[in-house]
A and B are shown apart, each in its own frame.
Chain A
């Protein structure tokens, strides 16, 4: 089973700043089958990135994903007020599907 570890646990930044979120896998994620989701309180998760770097439909280009193997990154180039939320990475290259524990992005 692949275990995903996200860092930092909490990231405090201001609107307009750049956010860099990390996701490290315990084993190589095959074919870069790595996704990122955003979740706001009381809402279902929202798909942002799949295939490590492909943006889902309707996702602003300030969100970008990169990485391969065991190290992946979600970057938000310039934070907007609506970007403050919890972010999860997820691997779907091997069974069972697995999620990271989440990174909380909070307003500084």
Chain B
């Protein structure tokens, strides 16, 4: 059974840093690109960042580029999001998400497994 378990959220002051983790199980983690998607309280979904299965390629939304860094440790089946220079508008539940694959084809931008999310609150 595929499981994604995020951790590392919490309250941080503006300008501070936080590192989120997502522990994956139930699938061959290194074979899949992974993404982070966030949702501000009462708002819609926003894609944040993605990383290839090897970790060699990374992608970011303009809103976080230069402040957030996505990475992964395939030996630990864990995805990370290092968040620096945090702003109030980064306050959100952060989900890690696995792409949907069917009949041997994976759609990197479609997500069929999500974690439960971890709340990041940026406030003084």
| Known A44-B95, A44-B116, A47-B111; contact A56-B46, beta-carbon cutoff 8 A | no
Interface residue range, chain A: 20 to 34
Please measure, in the bound complex, the distance between the C-alpha atom of A39 and the C-alpha atom of B93, giving whole angstroms.
14
Contact assessment for A99 and B44 in the assembled complex, using a CB-CB cutoff below 8 Å: yes
Residues of chain A with a CB closer than 8 A to B88's CB:
none
Which stretch (A13-21, A64-72, A87-95) binds chain B?
A87-95
Residues on A with C-beta less than 8 A from B95 are 44-45
Give the interface size bracket for B toward A: 20 to 34
Q: Quick one: closest A residue to B93, CB to CB? A: A44
Q: With A44-B114, A47-B110, A57-B112 known to touch, is A98 a contact of B44 (CB < 8 Å)?
A: no
Contact B100 A50 (CB under 8 A): yes
Chain B residues near A (Cβ < 8 Å):
35, 44-47, 50, 59, 61-62, 95, 100, 102, 107-112, 114-117
